[in-house]
Amino acid sequence: MPCEKDGSLIEHSDVELLFAANGGLGPTVEAQRTAALTHNVPFGDIVQFAAAVGVSNCAGAPRLEFMAGRPTTSQASPAGLVPGPGDTVDRILERMADAGFSADETVDLLASHSIAAQQGLNTALGADHALMSSAFRAAMVKLATLGNNRSTLVDCSSVIPTPASAPAPPTIPGGKTLDDIEGSCAATPFPSLPIAPGPTPTVPAVAV
């Protein structure tokens, strides 16, 4: 939900939760609605606060910025603005470009699927974790304040916890080899990573 910069998904949940791209977000929306109303903060702020705190729970993640003071009202979003997994790369990049994000920034934002839970096991992490973390944070700074005037917001980043250090450098899961990785960029060789000892780990499915 961090891309929900104005909180319209909470304010207009009767409309936006019907969108396919928002499937499964009902419990999260209601939990954040309760928190926002309890503490009298804008829905847009609670979404960004929850995202920043959530990322801080992940070892090795960057400490995200949190700017407060978004408007207290919003308009319901039109359907179809969030690119879906069935869209072509060109369609996704066109939609992100329309929102002001370059292809590189779009890829940087996808690092969230390496930081958070995911369906299945992602073995395609590059070896430069610091670069990925820095690029993800920069793209999130832009995404979190999209449509807002930063000069009217208050920097409350000091309340966001500092994530623990990454427990270990990236590895190829046990039982797998480099041959099991389907490279996404033929022009750039996949980095050489050590293979973790033991069997291939089992990753539980993410509830949706």
Q: Is 8 marked as a binding-site residue? A: yes
Q: Is 157 marked as a binding-site residue? A: no
| Angle, CA 175 vertex, CA 171 and CA 179 arms, to 5° | 75
Give counts: helices (H), strands (E), the chain.
8, 2
Other Cβ atoms closer than 10 A to 12: 15
Q: Is 12 marked as a binding-site residue? A: no
| Angle, CA 100 vertex, CA 52 and CA 66 arms, to 5° | 20
The answer to whether the CB of 188 falls within 8 A of the CB of 81 is: no
Q: What's the CA gap between 203 and 42, in Å, rounded? A: 36
Q: Is 113 marked as a binding-site residue? A: yes
Give the residue ranges of the annotated binding site for Ca(2+): 6, 8, 114
Give the residue ranges of the annotated binding site: 6, 8, 113-114
Give the residue ranges of the annotated binding site for heme b: 113
